[in-house]
Amino acid sequence: MSWNCGMPQLLEGTAEYIQMTEQEEALLTTSWAGLVERSRLMWKASSHAEIVEATPMDEGELAEQHLANLDEYLDEDNGEGDVLEEVNNSEDVASDDGIDLD
């Protein structure tokens, strides 16, 4: 990304954001949008590649991400003992009928 494209001036203007009028705020928002678009076009031209747009995850992707996060959480050893409770083999559990646990 080129720093010679107006970003320092935008950052300086953004630092004073709380003192802006609505018109100044709209101009700043437009300026940032312009900087983003110019940066996208510069990247596309220099990389000779298409710009890929991110899309929100669908339900299946969210479930997969949740399971991956859960696996990572369960695999962590934080020194506080196991997260999951262990079942004592001598305990009677309704679902263990006919299964020899010893």
Which tens digit of pLDDT belongs to each residue from 59-86?
Answer: 999 999 888 888 888 877 555 555 455 5
Residue showing tokens 């079942």: 87
Q: What is the pTM of this model?
A: 0.42
Q: Is 78 helix (H, G, I), strand (E, B) or coil?
A: coil
Token pair listed for 48: 């000779």
Query: Rounded distance, CA 53 to CA 44, Å?
Result: 13
Residue 102 lies in a domain: no
15 is a domain residue: yes
- Inside any domain, residue 52: no
Helices (H) and strands (E) in the chain, counts: 3, 0
**In total, how many domains does the chain have?**
1
User: Is residue 64 situated within a structural domain?
Assistant: no
Domain annotation covers residue 18? yes
Q: Is residue 83 part of a domain?
A: no
Q: Residues 19-47: pLDDT tens digits?
A: 778 898 889 889 989 998 998 899 899 99
User: Residue 19's domain spans which residues?
Assistant: 7-47
98 is a domain residue: no
Q: What is the pLDDT of residues 1-20, one digit of tens each?
A: 555 677 777 777 776 666 77
